[in-house]
A and B are shown apart, each in its own frame.
Chain A
């Protein structure tokens, strides 16, 4: 079970990392195009919109990369003072609350998408569903990492051999 979760979490991260890399490269290209087109020709109307959407996508997927790498900022000096069962208890609470938040975010962002049937973006004319999709996807991969991380953190006796 632990190994299985870990494998899924690693696979998701492998995929997300490469995808976000492409998003960032695309973002660099789009804005470079925006500058070149404005300076030498006339400005395109869609570059700014596209770059905002690329930023949104990289934010939510990138947040899952940060979660996987345990890079999210937290105030840990109080928890670091704890030892023994109090520490385990706090870790349980922290993990469960985090997972609860991710679940809520996935549920309501999916609901938001299902409500946005007709809305299209002003310049590109793409359905906003494709833009909003980044939110549940980002939270879903964070949920996977959180579950795998929680199991590993709270059952250290059954450490995964890799």
Chain B
């Protein structure tokens, strides 16, 4: 049973079928061999998507897409530059900080990479920053997109693990800031090594000027996160407010989007969200199968027979997550792996919120590890550099982010950070 399930899953994945179809076909195969009425298929697909927290998924994607297309990200970059531009390698620092900031607006990493990369790349080129390092840094900075709230993968995890979306969001800040700090450190070291010139001197007048221009964008995370953490809105409602706000800013304040653009952006983000939601749909058939035959508990038992030590098990899980991230896209890996790991995590008495953060952070690193590395592809499209060259520069950043992952995995076991 377990063998049949995983071998079917693995073979179909390797054949290159769409992940949602792979999961659906695997479930169908198992149901057929077990003689279960296939009506379970549509029933579970419906139940899997018929949940209110998932409403946040399309709208955190849409809000990010709307703001990435408009002038908001450009203004944010200018604001960050007015503060940190004076540093040696200041533009690199700006690109990381702008990514972190956009991460607090957008729920996806690819959108963050695109939003920050598009206005920054021409300027980085003009000032002669090393292009492949710049591209790698923008891609790596994009990883904070799903760790700093709001975050689509965190919503997915929360729905699967039956945890609160808000508490996952709340615990994303510290890891996200740590990721940013590590990336800034790597960038500063590289800049010092190559003896980069400093940018324009720091001036308060300039900061104030760019702050005013960026104000509308800067308000977005205040509204979204303030609304969620004050308990005033549910995350799904906050996502819709973010969309309304983004539409208002893009159409009425900056006036850079026409209604035709809005139609196109909505269509594009509908496609993006349906890809994720369709995987959610078919995988809820698989989760039903897993739960019905208690497969995760069987896996948990066999892992625990190897080691009962939670530090060792977490190391093993981290390794699996990182490898999965190399070959699979974030949402699909998360949707497949989470139900498999949950019983193990519960038995080891690890907080499910803590594990969610580990899972999302680990898979976020997968966005810059080829062959399946969405952020590298986005960065490569923007900079016109081949993936191979960017990949070489991204290695120290991957190492740095893995260090953050291990830190976030083990530290909370000793100290209560939040959770």
Contact = CB atoms under 8 A, between A and B. Distances in A.
Interface size class, chain B: 35 or more
Q: How large, as a class, is the contact surface on chain A?
A: 35 or more
Contacts of B271: 62, 65-66, 69, 71
Given A56-B46, A59-B281, A60-B281, A77 B372 contact: yes
Nearest to A135: B42
A73 interface: yes
Given A31-B240, A74-B19, A101-B24, A24 B51 contact: no
A154 B313 CA distance: 46
A94 to B, nearest CB: 5
Contacts of B371: 77
Contacts of A66: 271, 274-275, 278
Nearest to B41: A108
Nearest to A146: B21
A104 B19 contact: no
What secondary structure prevails in chain A residues at the interface with B?
helix
Contacts of A115: 39
A148 interface: no
B196 interface: no
Contact of A75 (B14, B52, B277): B14
Interface in A88-141: 90, 93-94, 97-98, 100-101, 104-105, 108-109, 111-112, 115, 131-132, 135
Contacts of A2: none
Contacts of A24: 58, 62, 266, 270
A72 B371 CA distance: 17
17 contacts: A17-B267, A25-B266, A52-B52, A52-B55, A58-B273, A62-B274, A62-B277, A62-B278, A69-B271, A74-B18, A77-B372, A93-B15, A94-B16, A101-B24, A105-B45, A112-B42, A135-B42
